[in-house]
Amino acid sequence: MSAIIFEVKDVQYSYPGKFPALCGVDMTIRSGEKIAVIGANGTGKSTLLHLLDGLIFPHQGQVTAFGERLLENSLFDEKAAHHFRRRVGLVFQNADIQLFCPSVREDIAFGPLQFGVEEEEVNRRIMDVAQVLDIHHLLDRVPHQLSIGEKKRVAIASVLAIDPDVYLFDEPTAGLDPLTVRHIIDFMVNANRRGKTIITATHDLHIIGEIADTVYVFGRNKRIVRGGSSESVLNDRALLESNNLIHIHQHHHDGKEHVHQHLPLEQHD
Amino acid sequence: MSNALHKKRDFIERSMLSALAFLKDATLSEECANRKGFLQSLDPRFKTISFLAFLVTAVSLKSAVLIGSLYGLCLLLVFFSRIPLNYFLTRTLLFIPLFSLCIVLPTLFSMVTPGEPVWSFHVLGINAIITRPGVDGALLFVVRIATSVSLVVLLSLTTRHSELLKVLRLFGVPQLFVLTVSMCYRYLYLFATMVENIFTALKSRVGMVSRHQHGQNIVAWNIANTWNRTTQMSEEVYMAMLSRGYTGEPQLLSEFHATLKDWFWLLCALIICAGLFYRGHTL
Write out chain B's pLDDT in tens, 283 residues: 455 555 555 666 677 677 777 766 666 567 788 888 999 999 999 999 999 999 999 999 999 999 999 999 999 999 999 999 998 998 887 777 677 878 888 888 888 888 888 888 887 778 888 888 889 988 899 899 999 999 999 999 999 887 888 888 878 888 888 888 888 888 887 888 888 888 778 777 766 555 666 777 777 887 888 888 888 889 999 999 999 999 888 888 776 788 999 999 999 999 999 999 999 888 7
Q: Is residue B8 part of a domain?
A: no
Interchain contact, B251 vs A113, CB within 8 Å: yes
Which residues are paired to A63 by β-bridges? Answer: A8
Which residues are paired to A257 by β-bridges? Answer: A252
Q: Is residue B195 part of a domain?
A: yes
DSSP 3-state of A28: strand
Which residues in chain A have their CB less than 8 angstroms from residue B189's CB? 144
Interchain contact, B233 vs A143, CB within 8 Å: no
Which residues are paired to B123 by β-bridges? Answer: B126
Residues B148 and B272 in one domain: yes
Interchain contact, B165 vs A114, CB within 8 Å: no
Residues B204 and B282 in one domain: no
B54 CB-near residues (< 8 Å, 6+ apart): B70, B73, B74, B151, B269, B272, B273
* pLDDT over 60 (residue A230): yes
| DSSP sequence for B217-249 | HHHHHHHHHHHHHHHHHHHHHHHHHHHTT--SS
What's the mean pLDDT in A1-28?
Answer: 90
Cα–Cα distance between A166 and A199 in angstroms, integer? Answer: 8
Residues B187 and B271 in one domain: no
Residues B147 and B270 in one domain: yes
Closest-CA distance, B41 to chain A, in angstroms, reads 14
Residues B57 and B182 in one domain: no
Cβ–Cβ contact A80 with B under 8 A: no
Q: Is residue B121 part of a domain?
A: no
Which pLDDT value is given to residue B172? Answer: 82
Interchain contact, A92 vs B240, CB within 8 Å: yes
Residues B187 and B216 in one domain: yes
Cα–Cα distance between B98 and B91 in angstroms, integer? Answer: 12
Residue pair A242/A248 in contact by the 8 Å Cβ criterion: no
Cα–Cα distance between B230 and B167 in angstroms, integer? Answer: 27
Q: Is residue B120 part of a domain?
A: no
CA distances from B185 to B27, B86, B170 (A): 9, 27, 20
Residues B153 and B206 in one domain: no
ipTM (interface pTM): 0.88
Which pLDDT value is given to residue A97? Answer: 92
SS3 content of chain A, % helix, strand, coil (to 5): 40, 30, 30
Q: Which domain, by its residues, includes B201?
A: 174-252
Query: Total domain count for chain B?
Result: 2
What's the mean pLDDT in A6-14?
Answer: 95
Q: Is residue B21 part of a domain?
A: no
Mean pLDDT rounded to a whole number for chain A: 89
Q: Is residue B117 part of a domain?
A: no
Residue pair A106/A141 in contact by the 8 Å Cβ criterion: no
Residue type present at position A51: L
Residue type present at position A38: I
What's the mean pLDDT in A218-243?
Answer: 89
Nearest to B49 by CA among B276, B265, B275: B265
Which residues in chain A have their CB less than 8 angstroms from residue B28's CB? 144
Residue of A52, A72, A114, A154 to mutate for B, most B C-beta atoms under 10 A: A114
In chain B, the N- to C-terminal Cα span, in Å, equals 66
Of B186, B189, B193, the CB nearest to A100: B186
Name the residue in chain B with its Cα closest to that of A161: B244
Residues B152 and B275 in one domain: yes
Cα–Cα distance between A51 and B244 in angstroms, integer? Answer: 15
Residues B189 and B270 in one domain: no
DSSP 3-state of A63: strand
What's the mean pLDDT in A252-263?
Answer: 64
Q: Is residue B165 part of a domain?
A: no
CA distances from B220 to B180, B187, B195, B196, B214 (A): 27, 21, 12, 15, 10
Interchain contact, A92 vs B183, CB within 8 Å: no
Residue pair A219/A243 in contact by the 8 Å Cβ criterion: yes
Q: Return the exposure string of A63-85: e unless at least 16 CB atoms fall within 10 Å of the residue's CB, then b.
A: bebbeeebeeeebeeeeebbebb
Which pLDDT value is given to residue A265? Answer: 47
Residues B90 and B205 in one domain: no
Residue pair A29/A35 in contact by the 8 Å Cβ criterion: yes
Residues B187 and B262 in one domain: no
Q: Is residue B119 part of a domain?
A: no
Residues B153 and B275 in one domain: yes
A69-73, A213-217, B198-202, B228-232, range with the lowest pLDDT: B198-202
A153-157, A204-208, A248-252, B218-222, range with the lowest pLDDT: A248-252
Cβ–Cβ contact A116 with B under 8 A: yes
Which pLDDT value is given to residue A192? Answer: 95
pLDDT tens for each residue of A76-121: 888 899 999 999 999 999 999 999 998 899 999 999 999 999 999 9
